[in-house]
Structure 1
Amino acid sequence: MKGIQILLIMILVSLLSGCWGIKEIQHQTYITAIGIDYEDDLYQLYFQSLSYSSVAKVEGGGADTTESRIIVGSASGSTIEQALGRIEQVAQLPVSYSHINTIYVSPTILEEQQLKIVKDFLGRWPFLRYDTWLFATDSPIDKVMLHNDFFSRAPVYSFTYDPAELLRENSFIPVLSYQTLVQRYDEPFGSILIPSLIVKDQTWKDNEASELVLNVNSGYFIEQHELKGHLTLNDLKGLDWFDENTEKLHVTLPEDLISAQLIRPQLNINVLTEHNEPRFRVEMKVKAALLSNVNQINERELKNKLEERLVLDITETFLHGVEMDLDIYQLTEKAFRFHPGAWTYEQLENLDENFLDRVDIAIEIVDEGNYK
């Protein structure tokens, strides 16, 4: 009797160990990014897919032993749902959306009516995580997706899939998650920056040809549901200091042969409520590690030159925003939220160059980069 009981237990255990209905990983189409465009009254939807073997890693940082292969599927429709259905109909394998980490949109999608439709679709789509990264591009979206494999590395190791790794060493542009867009979209004050991408060549090469890579070259701005326009990366130099995630930034003064790395700025925006009109003062403390000082300029003069440069960058970026009727630094949002009685809604809406009363920068040089 005891032997029969043991046999029954063994049979039951063997049944529990089976995993019926589980699909093997190579039998699914893995979508890592989606793209949405709107033209001629039609929505164009794009899926970026990669083979599972292209994300195989070897010891030492995620390099692939075989060439990464990206496939882009696309379809159009009078609605996003219709385009989505058409792509799925021609998929050769079941589609898995669990790896989506990037959304690409064209500038036409950022217009108020189209963005409202896209937000409604993405909000109801059960597969999208809110921490997905959002980028704009005026290049063809399928071209952007196809060239997101730097030196044959899988897209899951790219800047648009995981920007944090690169921005830790050079925080050259604030990035935007879909969650942040949703949180800030209906705010009455403050702007939203969507980084914009281009496909760039002639920067990296191998033995045969130039390597096409994605590059952030500008940013589109939305404020109070309206697409205000876009500014180049050079016009946005002052914005980096207002991003709480900024860790390191490189500043170069070519005329003085000075280069420095500035680390973890501590920024404070003061709302000057004693004025009858909206006024704000920006104060920032930042540490600097000197990378180049060919002319051996003394520390005091070095600090002055770097501080002047930062003041200039911050002021110029603010004035670019004023020209577009755009509060780039979220100054009015801070007043509206924390000092609601200081000025009227109308006063805060009438943005002008006097809103930025003063910029004070204090730089501490912690490493002069001396020869060892």
Structure 2
Amino acid sequence: MRKCINILKLIWLTVMLNMLTGCWDIKEIQDMNYITAIGIDQEDGEFVVYTQMMDFTSVAKNETGKAEKPPQVWTSKTRGKTFDMAVNAIYDSAQLRTSWSHISCILISDSVLKSKVLTKLDTIGRYQEIRMTPWVYGTNESIEQLFNVPAFFNLSPLNTLAHEPSEEHKQRSYIVPIRYFDFMALITEPASTVLLPNLSIDKGTWSLNQKENPKLVINGVFAISEVVSKGFFPNDKLAGLRWMETDTKRSPVTITNKNGEYAGLVVLSKPKIRKKLNIVNGMPQFRVNVKLHGNVVEALDDMNKTEMEMKAAARVREEIISTFKNGIASKTDLYSLEHVLFKKDTRLWKKIHQSSLQPMDAGSLESVHVEVHLDHAGMKLLPHHDGPAAPSTRKEAGS
């Protein structure tokens, strides 16, 4: 009798354990909508939210690594009085449960950037499914068109610049991409200017079977200070910005000969930057020191190593000063030099802001000193001679 009871207990325990290990609310991946990008715009006083969604099978790679057919991409456009109301309008016709945990790109239109940006992004920071790691961009183009720009070789849209800009930046460092958590941290930092990359469409560079094949491109920045955009700066106004970013991995600079003719190209990387603050007559002045290493990739003139270093250093210095002045002309501190004042002399910073004085003007950049060291010249040699590897180029910034 006891043996029968023990057997029955064992059977009952086995049944109960099987019931406990069951996944009652599991969702198959094909039964979910996965949002990969979200765009925020404003029209006629309402929020307009765009989303990008793709077929899950287009993300997985096949044996060749490339798909035979272009991936299918769905985009949505909804409206609402608030950002959250516009987002919730998506559920009306979503058909399936929608997952927001795979977003890797956030696009913000220039009209939204002109107002208090933080209030427009409140929902994103509160909703637990959305991570803090997506790449963030501004744009002055159609968000819907940006979401439909194809990748190369029929690859997933996740292989475009919008979702993975870091690899392109390693090869050509011009504008540093920024993630959402960095963007939110810097936008609330006093005396800082956040440089938000502008995502655009390049329709003239690439073609497929002699037909226009547009691709995404970063062609400038929106300078955001005090949580409001101070304006858009295209790439040609930002030539010196790369030399003031420690994240610069590789960026080219041209050099000219004595006659002003093109003489070669050097690639510079890993800038070491020092910013020194001086207070003159109660106002801040800054001295900037930049040290760069690089190599020669093209030499079309009979120029030795030291001469090339001098020419490259002079060009870098010229670009740094020019970019600073481009920002000041629009009352924008592109290098966030004012933040140095805030950290080192907060009392003076507050005093200047409480007065009618401008903390930054064209004379705030007192001097720029640049050193360039060329480590090698590729598979060819350049003539060398004794002397300093990087002669001083320190001059008055205004000269």
Normalised to the residue count of structure 1, the TM-score between the two structures is 0.91
Give the match for residue 345 of structure 1: 352
CA deviations 1:294-352 (Å, max 9, x no partner) are 21311111011101110111111000111011111011111111233566434884321
- Whether contact under 8 Å (1:55, 1:64) holds in the other structure is no
Give the match for residue 325 of structure 2: 319
- Whether contact under 8 Å (1:77, 1:83) holds in the other structure is yes
Higher deviation after alignment, 181-190 or 289-298: 181-190
What displacement does 1:18 show?
Answer: 3.9
Q: Helix, strand or coil for the counterpart of 2:194?
A: strand
Spell out the pairing of 1:197-216 with structure 2 (5 A cutoff).
197-216=199-218
Could you tell me how far apart the structure 2 residues matched to 1:133 and 1:164 are?
10
Matched, 1:298 2:304: yes
Distance 1:11 1:67, change over 3 A: farther
Aligned counterpart in structure 2 of residue 237 of structure 1, from 231, 236, 239: 239
Rg larger in structure: 2
What displacement does 1:148 show?
Answer: 4.8
What displacement does 1:37 show?
Answer: 0.7
Spell out the pairing of 1:65-104 with structure 2 (5 A cutoff).
66-104=69-107
Q: Helix, strand or coil for the counterpart of 1:260?
A: strand
Task: Say what the alpha-carbon RMSD is for the aligned residues.
Answer: 2.4
Higher deviation after alignment, 337-346 or 359-368: 337-346
Amino acid at match of 1:31: I
- Whether contact under 8 Å (1:51, 1:70) holds in the other structure is yes
Amino acid at match of 2:34: Y
Higher deviation after alignment, 297-306 or 7-16: 7-16
Q: Helix, strand or coil for the counterpart of 1:315?
A: helix
What displacement does 1:224 show?
Answer: 1.8
Amino acid at match of 1:100: I
CA deviations 1:205-225 (Å, max 9, x no partner) are 222522211111121111123
Amino acid at match of 1:264: K
- Whether contact under 8 Å (2:105, 2:135) holds in the other structure is yes
Could you tell me how far apart the structure 1 residues matched to 2:172 and 2:320 are?
18
Amino acid at match of 1:90: S
Amino acid at match of 2:300: V
What displacement does 1:193 show?
Answer: 1.2
Give the match for residue 280 of structure 1: 286
Higher deviation after alignment, 90-99 or 220-229: 220-229
What displacement does 1:192 show?
Answer: 1.2
Q: Percent identity of the aligned residues?
A: 28
Could you tell me how far apart the structure 1 residues matched to 2:162 and 2:192 are?
25
Could you tell me how far apart the structure 2 residues matched to 1:46 and 1:192 are?
24
Could you tell me how far apart the structure 2 residues matched to 1:43 and 1:181 are?
21
Matched, 1:39 2:43: yes
CA deviations 1:106-150 (Å, max 9, x no partner) are 11101224x243122222223222222111111111000011534
Give the match for residue 119 of structure 2: 117
Give the match for residue 145 of structure 2: 143
- Whether contact under 8 Å (1:171, 1:247) holds in the other structure is yes
Give the match for residue 28 of structure 1: 32
Amino acid at match of 1:118: K
Q: Helix, strand or coil for the counterpart of 2:214?
A: strand
Give the match for residue 224 of structure 1: 226
CA deviations 1:46-102 (Å, max 9, x no partner) are 110001001012468x64454321110111122222221221111122111110111
Normalised to the residue count of structure 2, the TM-score between the two structures is 0.85
Amino acid at match of 2:73: I
Give the match for residue 330 of structure 1: 336
CA deviations 1:229-249 (Å, max 9, x no partner) are 111111111111222322111
Aligned counterpart in structure 2 of residue 53 of structure 1, from 51, 57, 70: 57
Aligned counterpart in structure 2 of residue 267 of structure 1, from 249, 262, 273: 273
Give the match for residue 167 of structure 2: 165
Matched, 1:367 2:371: no
Could you tell me how far apart the structure 1 residues matched to 2:175 and 2:150 are?
18
**Structure 2: stretches of 5+ with no match in the other structure:** 382-399
Could you tell me how far apart the structure 2 residues matched to 1:309 and 1:270 are?
21
